[in-house]
Amino acid sequence: MKLTLTDWSVIAAYFLFNLAIGFYYKRRAGASVGDFFLSGRNVPWWLAGTSMVATTFAADTPLVVTGLVAKNGIAGNWLWWNMVASGMLTVFLFARLWRRSGVTTDIELAELRYAGRPAAFLRGFRAVYLGVIMNCIVLGWVNLAMVKILSLVLGVSKAEALWIVVGIIAITSFISTLSGLWGVLVTDLFQFFIKMGMVIVLGVAAVRAVGGAEAMTAKLGGSGSPFLSFVPDLDSVWMPAVTFAVYIAVIWWSTWYPGAEPGGGGYVAQRMFSAKDERHSLLATLWFNVAHYALRPWPWIVVALASVILYPNLKDPETGYILVMINYLPASLRGLMVAAFAAAYMSTVGTQLNWGASYLVNDFYGRFIRKGAPDRHYVRASQVATVLLTVISAVVTWYMDSVAGAWKLLIATGAGAGTVLILRWYWWRINAWSEVSSMAAAALVSVVLQTVFHLNSDDPTQFAWLIMITVGLTTLSWIAATFLTAPESDATLLRFYRKVRPSGPGWARIRALAPNVPITHDLAWNLLDWLCGCVMIYAALFGIGKIVLQEPVTGIVFLLVAVAAGGVIYWDLSRRGWASVME
């Protein structure tokens, strides 16, 4: 793709604006660790939520969606659509609890919820495992997507594209180390509007390139075509009934996955910690899930559908998205589109670097190596950790070939651990060994099944059995570990209960020991809101899709269902005083 002087000027202006934001927020970030990682816990819901959306809108996302659609049709998106239920759990069952906990990172919760050496080990292990290993896998696939984009757009080799990516990472790392979370949040807001606007423009251009929406659906088999169906055929080769059942009934609650952790966690938890209060935390995560699952997917899917028509025999279907951009986007917008990809890339990288550094400094270095140092020392350590993660992620990128493959790798290695992450909030008997055993068993069983028994995660049926066996054995492992080890002391459990105030029957024994703590009886209502939230998002997602695919009546019916479900949520939150936030 040929870029003009005007295009390069737009790209340069984009990077300069981001640097300006970094310098503007430099003083705030350097004040303390709380300011660097949590923006002083004073972020409004709309900024925290939009930052979550921007972070999940990485350069890799439209490419992965294009690959999934090209191989399996629209229903291929169930690889990530199944996470709606997990996201809604975070909104209604965990967002307020996380904010009440007062921790700096979700890993720090280990020594609030548990005590002693097992809790300390869990915190340190997870800091390195998630902050370095899993985080750099995520950064690696995000980098890989940007390498693919630059290779095609600029006509350079993978090695040359990787060096350019390293340069962009350096700028992003500089902004992150300079301005902390405030800089990340504000650049996320700016980047979100750029990339969302441009993917919509590209979607319109893609539809025009294939002759309009009606022509596009006709060329793909019409409204009854399995390729355009939102739900896979039960006898389909790529997602048979057993695999689809695993996606919608098992993965969302059992599997740790960045951005959709059961019980909340990761950078989503970081944004909840940074929110002004519990209400802002709840509304931020609600806005994130609505935007992420219901509002944003269709511009990607439309381009993916067009790419199937325009480039039917691509060796790497993920590149179809980039080819549509190169060949059909108006020349006057090419520079802005490249800037939009850079925005998608930088928003994710900036968050991952800041989040990963928070684990290394708050939960490992500051906890086990250098205790009691001044805040400025830890801010400097955070900057060093950010650079370290940048270097490691670049090395990981060089050895990675498939973005979707990396997604499946994380799903498989985290299968089964999610149950404990949910229950630790609602059942007092969960202890530190429950978490340790679940993580170890999930990784070990998954590796053994794939290396010794040769279950292939790329085969749909074998992937389903891989997940079910891993979840089953992991569950047996953590249940055995829980009852074979001593429970946490009443003093530890009371400390957690007084601070977080979890509801439900799982804390009845501890609740009786703390009669002076206000009791909340909202679990049933929260579950109702969760169910309505799932209905609202899926109905909105399918309603918008039906309208895009020229089935307006069906689409409107779906949207009315979404409005009704949203109305129930609004009524309940209003009744409890959570619906609106007074600034």
pLDDT digits (tens, 9 = 90+) for 132-182: 877 887 787 778 778 877 887 778 887 788 788 878 777 777 766 666 666
Query: Which regions of the chain are under pLDDT 70?
Result: 1-2, 25-40, 175-182, 237, 257-259, 399-414, 578-583
> Rounded distance, CA 157 to CA 138, Å?
22
Half-sphere exposure of residue 173: CA atoms within 13 angstroms, side-chain side: 22
pLDDT at residue number 39:
65
> Rounded distance, CA 209 to CA 301, Å?
15
Q: Would you tell me the crossing angle of helices 158-209 and 297-310 to the nearest 10 degrees?
A: 90
pLDDT at residue number 335:
81
Contacts of 66 (CB under 8 A, 6+ apart): 300, 303, 304, 307, 317, 318, 320, 321
Q: Tell me, what amino acid is at 176?
A: S
pLDDT at residue number 536:
97
Burial status of residue 40 (CB atoms within 10 A of its CB: 0-12, 13-18, 19 or more): middle
pLDDT at residue number 469:
92
Contacts of 420 (CB under 8 A, 6+ apart): 430, 434, 435, 438, 478
SS3 262: coil
> Rounded distance, CA 3 to CA 498, Å?
60
pLDDT at residue number 354:
76
* DSSP string across 316-380: SGGGHHHHHHHHHS-GGGHHHHHHHHHHHHHHHHHHHHHHHHHIIIIIIIIIIISTT--HHHHHH
> Rounded distance, CA 298 to CA 291, Å?
11
pLDDT at residue number 581:
42
Domain 5-413 coded CATH 3.40.140.10: no
CA 348 to chain CA mean position, Å? 10
Phi then psi dihedrals of residue 52, to 5 deg: -60, -45
Q: State pTM to two decimals.
A: 0.85
